[in-house]
Each structure stands twice: as C-alpha cells, then as structure tokens.
C-alpha cells in the first residue's frame, strides 16, 4: 500500500511521520510481507527518503555554486543550535519526559524551532520516544539498536514501520497541550516556514544572501541537526560506558554528548528519564541542561525535576557491585566448604602419615604437597604442620600469615574435619540460617573478604596440638 493513499484527509503528507494514523487494523500492512525484488519499493518510506537523504544531496550539490558568506555561516551555526535545542530541550526533555515545565512563550519558541529541525511533530516524536523508553531494545521499541546501528540511526525512518508493532504509550497530557496540538495540526506550515523560509529571511533581509540562507541555514543545517539528533538513537545506544545499568543498550559517552547537544549521557538518562539533566557533573557537556537552567533564571522555565543524589549513587554503586561480582567469579577461591568431603580426624592423620602432605587449619584440610618447596617460610616449617592442627601455627603461633597466604591456602583445601572447630561454627550458622559472616554475591557465591577467610582465627589459639 503506497503511503500517500493512507495519508490524512488533508492530502498532505507529514514529513517524517509514517502513515500510522489512518490505518485499518484488519488489513495487512506491507511490513508483514517479506521484502522481494518486486515489492521492495513499497517498503520504503519515500517521503522520508526525500527529506533526510534526497534534500541534503541536493543541498551539497547546490553548495558547490553557492559561495558561503561569513555572516551566513555564523547564522547557520546559531540556527543549528536553536533548532537542535528545539528537539533536545523541547521535544525530548520538555514534552516526551516532562522533566520541567515551560511558560507559553518558551513553549511556542521550542515548538517553532523544533519544527525547524524537520523531525516530525512534537506529538508523534514524543509518542515514539515514550515507546522507546518503555520498551527499550524490544520489538516494540521503534528504533531498537538491536536491529542494527544503521537501523536505529536512520533505517527505522526510511523503511516503513508496522504501526501495530510499536508499543502503546499514553500521550493524553500532550493532547491537552494547545501548543502541541496546534503544532501537530499545522505541522507542514511549521516545517516549511521554520525549516526553510525563516532562516532564508534572516540572511536575505539581513545581508541579501537569499540563496546562501536557503542552502546553508536551511537545507544543510536541517541535515546536520537531523543527523546529530539521530545519533541519540544510534550512537548513544552503542558507544560508551554503562555506569548505572548494563542490562539494556543505553550508554554514556562524551563524543555522543558533543554531537547531540548534551544528550550523550544516555545510560543515566534511561535510568532517570524525568531528570532535566543528562550530564550530572558540572564539567560534562550538556548545553541543553544549561539552556533550561538559564530559562529558569529568566522565569521562562520552572519545576525542574532532579533525582536525589542519594538515589543516583545507589544505582551507580549497585552496578559497580555487579562488576565486582563478575570479576570475583573469574577468580579461584578454592572449593566451596560445603562441597568438601568431611573427614574424621583419625583418617586425616593416617593419610598424612602415609605421605600425603595434609595440613589442617581451623578445621579445614589442605593438601600442600605441591607447595612445600615454594613455601616462603621454608620447607621445615610447613612440614612441621603436616598431620596436625596447624591453626595456631598458621595464625601467629609461629608466623601470623598474610591475607594473601590465607587466600592461597584456600585454593589447596581438600576436606573438612568432622567437628573441626571453625567449621562447626559455620555449619551451625548455616543450619540456623544465621549466616552473618558469609555474604553471597549476585551469583550466590560466598564473598571472602580480606581478613575474613575461614582459616583466619581472630584470637590465636594457645595450644598448637589441640585435637
Ligand atoms: Zn535511548
Ligand atoms: Zn529520552
């Protein structure tokens, strides 16, 4: 089905707005058919191809014959920032996330310059963006990066999308906003005036450069603003760190921030979407946040929402903990105590007499055969503990072993003594479910903290041969 047929009754196609409004849910959508040689062109959203690929190509070619005046260049860059802010501070942080409130003059300004970025109406843009947050990385996410970087950047606009697939979101607040409704109804006029005519008027009436204004502040500036904000959907889900949550794709990166007027701290943003900031550190680049702050000082913006630092740090700490746990699981901490065989004291002694270098420390039996020759304290000392309870020797009777020594010892453990003192305490705690000295990580593995290994005895035992 060609998109033009399904357009609203006005007959005017809405740039960058896929044909989602007037569809018949009973009819099958073109996206439900596989792409073939004979129908591929029906899958393409030709209107969007014209607006985001065709027009910039025309602009680049025309720029070859259009000299760029300095004044026009300065205006094109200034207007780039204004229309970019229309998207980031307006469409995104004000309307999609309601992270602050704006007085009507600011709303009108943002709706106008946002329209000049040619990225669809506020209503349509925000609805998709809310679906993107609600269904991030799933099939209901309109620009899921899981479908490929190029798809999340531009593919989702130049290929038709099945309206039945996109996740539903509540936009009743936007339907109640007269500025949003007006802009949606008059979207084509807004785009043509703010995207093309207005930037051209400034350069034409200002210094007579009509053509320069059209090409540089109009067409090419639209191209750069579009590509910059498209990067929030692609680059911000692909490049950088995940300091708050690594279960989904959003990431933080300074390069993305530089490209997108500060929308690059996207891992933070997906965790705290209603925060008016993207960058929380003063030194991070977030001109959108600075603009909102300035508007607040001017009385144009109010009710700026901000998550408590305490909540932000909790999220950061939990993610750090997760990384720590993952790192911990890559290390050898010895066979877990509960998986070790229980050996009677007599059997332990017999085996040691028969030539196996077994040493019992705090009720845990260790096979040190391979380690004797490497023992830093010498062969004689370690050999003196074989077949005995070496708890006191190990814990200060002869030498108070280091934390590293306790860690190393745990990798040699092969069994536990039936009734071994520390083991008994540990087993009882397990039975009574009062296991306070052993904390488990996210994978259920015991955490052995420095100084709290099972072989470590707080008060060195007096007798060296207790059993
Ligand atoms: Zn995102
Ligand atoms: Zn967002």
Residue pLDDT, tens place only, 291-337: 999 999 999 999 999 999 999 999 999 999 989 988 988 999 898 88
| Residues 227 and 118 sit within 8 Å (Cβ to Cβ) | no
Q: How far apart are CA 228 and CA 251, in angstroms?
A: 16
Ligand at minimal distance from the CA of 234 is 1
The rounded Å distance from CA 132 to ligand 1 centre is 7
Ligand at minimal distance from the CA of 132 is 1
Is pLDDT larger for residue 463 or for residue 121?
121
The rounded Å distance from CA 235 to ligand 2 centre is 14
Q: How far apart are CA 86 and CA 107, in angstroms?
A: 9
pLDDT at 438 over 80: no
The rounded Å distance from CA 299 to ligand 2 centre is 24
Rg (CA), the chain: 33
Buried/exposed 193-203: b ≥16 CB within 10 Å, e otherwise: bbbbbbbbebb
Q: How far apart are CA 8 and CA 12, in angstroms?
A: 7
Is pLDDT larger for residue 365 or for residue 442?
365
Q: How far apart are CA 454 and CA 361, in angstroms?
A: 9
Q: How far apart are CA 260 and CA 81, in angstroms?
A: 10
How confident is the model over 114-129, as a mean pLDDT? 95
Ligand at minimal distance from the CA of 272 is 2
pLDDT at 123 over 60: yes
Q: How far apart are CA 412 and CA 364, in angstroms?
A: 10
pLDDT at 264 over 50: yes
How confident is the prediction for the chain on average, in pLDDT?
Answer: 87
Ligand at minimal distance from the CA of 145 is 1
The rounded Å distance from CA 97 to ligand 2 centre is 7
Please give the pLDDT value at position 4.
Answer: 41
The rounded Å distance from CA 279 to ligand 1 centre is 15
The rounded Å distance from CA 22 to ligand 2 centre is 27
Q: Which of 19-33, 45-59, 122-136 has the lowest mean pLDDT?
A: 19-33
The rounded Å distance from CA 290 to ligand 2 centre is 17
- Count other Cβ atoms within 10 Å, centred on residue 189: 13
**β-sheet bridge partners, residue 44:** 159
How confident is the model over 268-294, as a mean pLDDT? 96
Please give the pLDDT value at position 1.
Answer: 37
Task: Please say whether the dihedral angle defined by the alpha carbons of residues 326, 331, 336 and 341, taken in this order, is positive or negative.
Answer: positive
Ligand at minimal distance from the CA of 135 is 1
Q: Which token pair is 185? A: 């109804």
**β-sheet bridge partners, residue 178:** none
Vertex 342: Cα angle to 338 and 348 (nearest 5) = 135
**Which residue has 């009734």 as its token pair?**
419
Is pLDDT larger for residue 267 or for residue 162?
267
pLDDT at 35 over 90: no
Q: Which token pair is 457? A: 């005895």
Q: How far apart are CA 177 and CA 126, in angstroms?
A: 13
The rounded Å distance from CA 250 to ligand 1 centre is 6
The domain 337-447 is placed in CATH, from the list 3.10.120.10, 3.40.50.10260, 3.40.228.10, 3.30.530.20, at 3.10.120.10
Q: Which one-letter DSSP state was computed for residue 100? A: S
The rounded Å distance from CA 258 to ligand 2 centre is 17
Is pLDDT larger for residue 395 or for residue 397?
395
How confident is the model over 196-202, as a mean pLDDT? 97
pLDDT at 192 over 90: yes
**Which residue has 């393409």 as its token pair?**
44
Please give the pLDDT value at position 298.
Answer: 98
Q: What is the pLDDT of residues 366-381, one digit of tens each?
A: 999 999 999 988 888 8
The rounded Å distance from CA 145 to ligand 1 centre is 9
Domain ranges in the chain are 3-317, 337-447
pLDDT at 19 over 50: no
Ligand at minimal distance from the CA of 232 is 1
The rounded Å distance from CA 246 to ligand 2 centre is 17
Ligand at minimal distance from the CA of 92 is 2
């Amino acid at each position: 089905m060609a998109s033009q047929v399904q357009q609203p009754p006005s007959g005017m196609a809405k740039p960058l707005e896929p044909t989602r409004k007037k569809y018949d849910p009973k009819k099958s959508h073109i996206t439900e058919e596989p792409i073939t040689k004979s129908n591929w062109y029906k899958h393409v959203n030709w209107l969007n191809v014209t607006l985001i690929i065709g027009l910039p190509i025309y602009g680049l070619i025309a720029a070859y014959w259009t000299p760029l005046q300095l004044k026009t260049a300065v205006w094109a860059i200034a207007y780039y920032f204004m229309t970019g802010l229309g998207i980031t501070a307006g469409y995104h942080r004000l309307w999609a996330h309601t992270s602050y409130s704006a007085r009507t003059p600011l709303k009108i300004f943002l709706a106008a310059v946002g329209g000049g970025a040619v990225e669809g109406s506020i209503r349509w843009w925000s609805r998709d963006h809310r679906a993107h947050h609600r269904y991030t990385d799933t099939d209901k996410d309109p620009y899921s990066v899981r479908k490929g970087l190029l798809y999340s950047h531009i593919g989702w606009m130049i290929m038709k999308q099945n309206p039945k697939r996109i996740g539903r979101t509540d936009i009743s607040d936007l339907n109640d906003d007269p500025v949003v409704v007006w802009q949606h109804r008059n979207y084509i006029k807004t785009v043509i005036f703010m995207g093309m005519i207005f930037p051209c008027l400034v350069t034409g009436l200002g210094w007579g450069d009509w053509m320069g204004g059209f090409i540089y502040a109009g067409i090419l500036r639209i191209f750069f603003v579009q590509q910059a904000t498209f990067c929030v959907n692609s680059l911000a889900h692909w490049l950088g760190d995940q300091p708050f949550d690594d279960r989904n794709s959003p990431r933080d990166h300074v390069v993305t921030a530089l490209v997108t007027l500060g929308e690059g701290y996207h891992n933070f943003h997906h965790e705290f979407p209603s925060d008016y900031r993207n960058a929380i550190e003063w030194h991070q680049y977030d001109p959108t946040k600075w603009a909102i702050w300035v508007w607040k000082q001017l009385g144009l913006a109010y009710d700026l929402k901000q998550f408590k630092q305490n909540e932000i740090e909790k999220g950061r700490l939990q993610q750090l903990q997760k990384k720590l746990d993952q790192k911990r699981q890559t290390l050898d901490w010895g066979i877990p105590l509960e998986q070790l065989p229980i050996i009677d004291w007599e059997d332990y002694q017999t085996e040691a007499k028969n030539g196996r270098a077994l040493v019992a420390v705090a009720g845990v039996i260790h096979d040190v055969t391979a380690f004797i020759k490497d023992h830093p304290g010498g062969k004689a000392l370690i050999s003196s503990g074989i077949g005995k309870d070496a708890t006191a020797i190990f814990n200060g009777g002869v030498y108070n072993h280091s934390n590293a020594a306790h860690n190393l010892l745990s990798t040699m453990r092969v069994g536990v003594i039936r009734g071994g003192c520390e083991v008994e305490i540990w087993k009882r705690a397990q039975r009574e479910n009062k296991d306070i000295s052993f904390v488990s990580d996210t994978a259920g593995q015991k955490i052995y903290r420095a100084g709290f290994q099972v072989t470590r005895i707080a008060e060195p035992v007096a007798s060296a041969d207790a059993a």
